[in-house]
């Protein structure tokens, strides 16, 4: 019998991000982020929801941390809002902002929960957008590193697990659109694909400079990761041909070749550069060394994937050629959770991990699932319960795929479920609930769902139940 037992030191955790839960967007010196501006613009976010109040976590963090302790997690991944720390993006430091995170982290320690702080989860200061267009400028990477340096020198006595940046593709490639206004994220219209790739290159520089800044400012030994939402290619069946096809396809699936490859190997994928041609970003001398800083682990946010199969004469999406594989589209009726993109592919966890080792060539690098979870149409029943068996079904399969990776020797160290509680799901507002804890946004009441109890049992028994 396979009991799906995990290693004794496996890190079970939950994750959130600042703009999605904190609220209090005008309090204690915080100035607007690009998401405040974007969501205040009618029609940009479903139902015109904004993060102004969100889960009011800024005022209710103690209640929330007590619930985390009841869940039994020993690890919590949250993010720090740059506009709380340096409201104008550069220059004057806001002590009240630092104090909030001091209180939060102290409370976590009191409950024996280890903080894992993400330094940027998309809520960049609006002032820098106004000044130089945010990620369109290399200045952004320098300002980010200065913010990080300040923060780590002030909070490094309490936090030793740092994650530089969350999901580079989402605030670059989704936010800068060629000759059209970006639909799902704040950003700008640009004229060429090259400009879009330049934004992700600048974000990679920010990651590298921030990594250097953390090492320099941290008062003690610390652990640094990048968090990436790689696009996982999954072989339709595990024949040698299909596995090879999935590995080849990984380079050109979405932004993999230009983000995870340079970050972990110091070079853009040659296959990507070839396919981009003139659309490739300008890479200045020394950039790749900065980007490819030694890090201690990689965080993978994996929710879904793309099936691939071997095929001679396949036409590649970027140009005509015969690369030996094809991306498969999903049949009508393929099972998905409550998000247009959330096709249920549990084995994406296993293949994402395996690609880092075999396809990117970083078998040495410890990794963890820094986000995985699903949205569901949760409802409170007449007994005041949310019985989200769909979420349990989803997580159970994904945990088993993580277990498979560990049993085959891949260095998976932890799993952070997204999300601890329902929250502001970006352009989908509050309609799509990802939490283990239900939030009643009228009353701010917290209600643990059935999946909360299920996850609590997994954690206490250290296996998939
Ligand atoms: O809510 C987001 C999160 O901010 C980043 N990763 C994906 C989640 C679900 O869409």
Comparing CA positions, the residue from 123, 127, 149, 92 lying closest to residue 16 is 123
Does residue 322 have a pLDDT over 50?
no
State the residue for tokens 């904004």.
50
pLDDT (mean) for 89-96? 98
**Predicted local distance difference test score (pLDDT) of residue 185:** 84
Mean pLDDT of 327-347: 97
Digit-coded pLDDT (tens) for 55-70: 999 999 999 999 999 9
Give yes or no: 167 in active site.
yes
Which residue ranges make up each domain of the chain?
11-461
Is the pLDDT assigned to residue 50 strictly greater than 60?
Answer: yes
From the CB of 228, is ligand 1 less than 6 Å away? no
Mean pLDDT of 364-378: 98
Dump pLDDT digits (tens) for 164-173: 999 999 999 9
Residue from 81, 168, 229, 426 whose mutation best tests the ligand 1 pocket (most atoms within 8 A of CB): 426
What's the pLDDT at 316?
54
Helices (H), ranges, 218-306? 240-252, 256-265, 270-276, 287-291
CB 208, CB 293: distance < 8 Å: yes
Q: Hey, what are 115's tokens?
A: 């903080």
Query: How confident is the model at residue 319, as a pLDDT?
Result: 44
Identify whether 371 is a catalytic site residue: yes
Per the model's pLDDT, the better-predicted residue between 376 and 314 turns out to be 376
**Distance from the alpha carbon of residue 277 to the mean position of ligand 1, in angstroms:** 31
CA 394 from chain centre, in angstroms, equals: 19
Confidence at 320, pLDDT banded by 50, 70, 90: very low
Query: For residue 358, how far is its CA from the centre of ligand 1 (angstroms)?
Result: 26
Nearest CA to ligand 1 atom 2: 425
What does each C-alpha distance from 358 to 161, 244, 250, 257 come to in angstroms?
Answer: 26, 11, 11, 14
pLDDT tier at 314 (50, 70, 90 boundaries)?
low
Mutate to test the pocket of ligand 1, among 78, 185, 434 (most ligand atoms within 8 A of CB): 434
Over residues 220-230, the pLDDT tens digits come to 999 999 999 99
Residue 182: pLDDT above 80?
Answer: no
* Nearest-atom index, ligand 1, CA of 373: 9
> φ and ψ at 420, to 5 degrees?
-55, -45
Q: Is 167 in the pocket of ligand 1 (CB under 6 A)?
A: yes
- Could you tell me the distance, in angstroms and rounded to a whole number, from the CA of residue 82 to the centre of ligand 1? 18
C-beta of residue 422 within 8 angstroms of C-beta of residue 442: no
Ligand 1: nearest atom to the Cα of 303: 7
CB neighbour list of residue 32: distance below 8 Å, 6 or more residues apart: 25, 83, 125, 126
What residue's CA is closest to ligand 1, atom 1? 425
Task: Render pLDDT for 417-429 as a digit per residue (tens, 0 to 9).
Answer: 999 999 999 999 9
Distance 372 CA to ligand 1 centre (A): 9
CA distance 100 to 114: 17
Please say whether the beta carbons of 104 and 169 come within 8 A: no
Q: How many C-beta atoms lie closer than 10 Å to residue 14's C-beta?
A: 27
Closest atom of ligand 1 relative to the 121 alpha carbon: 4
DSSP bridge pairs for 223: 161
What residue has token string 């319960």?
A: 385
DSSP code string of 64-98: HHHHHHHHT-SEEEEE--HHHHSTTSSS---HHHH
Question: Cβ(371) to ligand 1 under 6 A?
Answer: yes
CA dist., res. 437 & res. 444, Å (int) = 11
At 51 the pLDDT is 98
Which atom in ligand 1 lies closest to the alpha carbon of residue 20? 4
Superfamily of domain 11-461 in the CATH hierarchy: Glycosidases (3.20.20.80)
pLDDT digits (tens, 9 = 90+) for 325-335: 999 999 999 99
Distance from Cα 419 to the centre of ligand 1, integer Å: 8
pLDDT of residue 170: 96
Res 20: pLDDT: 98
Closest listed residue to residue 46, CA positions, set 318, 400, 429: 429
Helix (H) or strand (E) holding 10: none
| Active-site hit among 22, 167, 326, 347 | 167
> How many Å lie between the centroid of ligand 1 and the Cα of residue 110?
28
What band does 107 get if pLDDT is binned at 50, 70 and 90?
very high
At 380 the pLDDT is 98
- Write down the mean pLDDT value for the chain: 96
Point out the ligand 1 atom lying closest to the alpha carbon of residue 426: 1
Using the mean position of ligand 1's atoms as its centre, give its distance from the Cα of residue 140 in Å.
Answer: 23
- Cβ of residue 301 lying under 6 Å from some atom of ligand 1: yes
33: nearest Cα among 42, 46, 22 = 22
The stretch 381-403 carries a mean pLDDT of 98
What is the rounded average pLDDT of the residues 131-158?
98
17 C-beta closer than 6 A to ligand 1: yes
What is the atom index within ligand 1 of the atom nearest the CA of 166?
5
pLDDT tier at 75 (50, 70, 90 boundaries)?
very high
User: For ligand 1, is residue 425 a contact (CB within 6 Å)?
Assistant: yes
Mean pLDDT of 384-390: 98
pLDDT at 321: 46
User: Parallel, antiparallel, or unpaired for β 367-372 and 297-301?
Assistant: parallel
DSSP 359: I
409: nearest Cα among 354, 346, 348: 354
**Ligand 1 and 39: CB distance under 6 A:** no
Atom of ligand 1 nearest to the CA of 122: 4
Rounded to an integer, the average pLDDT of 392-411 is 98
Q: Considering just the CA atoms, what is the radius of gyration of the chain in Å?
A: 21
Tell whether ligand 1 has an atom less than 6 A from the beta carbon of residue 390.
no
- How far apart are the CA of 425 and the centre of ligand 1, in A? 7
């Amino acid at each position: 019998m396979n009991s799906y037992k995990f290693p004794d030191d496996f890190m079970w955790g939950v994750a959130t991000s600042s703009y999605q839960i904190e609220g209090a967007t005008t309090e204690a010196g915080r100035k607007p982020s690009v998401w405040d501006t974007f969501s205040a613009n009618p029609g940009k976010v479903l139902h015109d929801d904004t993060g102004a109040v969100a889960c009011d976590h800024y005022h209710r963090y103690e209640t929330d941390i007590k619930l985390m302790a009841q869940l039994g997690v020993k690890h919590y991944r949250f993010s720090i809002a740059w506009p709380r720390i340096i409201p104008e993006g550069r220059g004057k430091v806001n002590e009240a902002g630092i104090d909030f995170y001091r209180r939060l982290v102290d409370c976590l320690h009191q409950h024996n929960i280890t903080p894992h702080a993400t330094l940027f989860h998309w809520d960049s200061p609006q002032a820098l957008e106004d000044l130089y267009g945010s990620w369109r400028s290399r200045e952004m990477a320098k300002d980010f590193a200065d913010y990080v340096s300040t923060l780590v020198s002030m909070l490094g006595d309490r936090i030793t697990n740092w994650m530089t940046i969350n999901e580079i593709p989402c605030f670059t490639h989704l936010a800068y659109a060629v000759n059209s206004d970006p639909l799902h994220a704040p950003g700008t219209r640009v004229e060429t694909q090259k400009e879009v790739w330049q934004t992700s290159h600048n974000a990679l520089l920010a990651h590298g400079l921030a990594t250097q800044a953390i090492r320099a400012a941290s008062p003690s030994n610390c652990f640094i990761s990048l968090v990436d939402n790689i696009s996982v290619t999954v072989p339709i069946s595990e024949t040698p041909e299909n596995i090879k096809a999935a590995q080849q396809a990984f380079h050109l699936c979405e932004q993999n070749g230009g983000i995870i490859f340079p970050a972990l190997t110091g070079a853009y994928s040659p296959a990507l550069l070839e396919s981009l041609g003139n659309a490739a970003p300008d890479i200045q001398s020394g950039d790749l060394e900065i980007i490819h800083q030694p890090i201690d682990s990689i965080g993978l946010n994996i929710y879904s994937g793309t099936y691939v199969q071997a095929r001679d004469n396949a036409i590649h999406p970027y140009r005509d050629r015969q690369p030996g594989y094809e991306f498969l589209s999903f049949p009508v009726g393929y099972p998905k959770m409550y998000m247009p993109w959330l096709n249920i592919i549990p084995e994406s966890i296993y293949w994402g991990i395996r690609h880092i080792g075999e396809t990117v060539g970083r078998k040495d690098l410890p990794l963890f699932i820094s986000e995985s979870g699903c949205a569901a149409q949760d409802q409170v029943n007449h007994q005041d319960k949310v019985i989200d068996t769909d979420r349990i079904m989803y997580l159970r399969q994904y945990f088993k795929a993580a277990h498979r990776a560990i049993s085959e020797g891949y260095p998976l160290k932890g799993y952070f479920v997204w999300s601890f509680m329902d929250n502001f799901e970006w352009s989908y507002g509050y309609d799509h609930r990802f939490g283990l804890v239900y939030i009643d946004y009228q009353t701010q009441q917290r209600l643990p769902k059935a999946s909360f109890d299920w996850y609590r049992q997994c954690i206490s028994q250290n296996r998939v139940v």
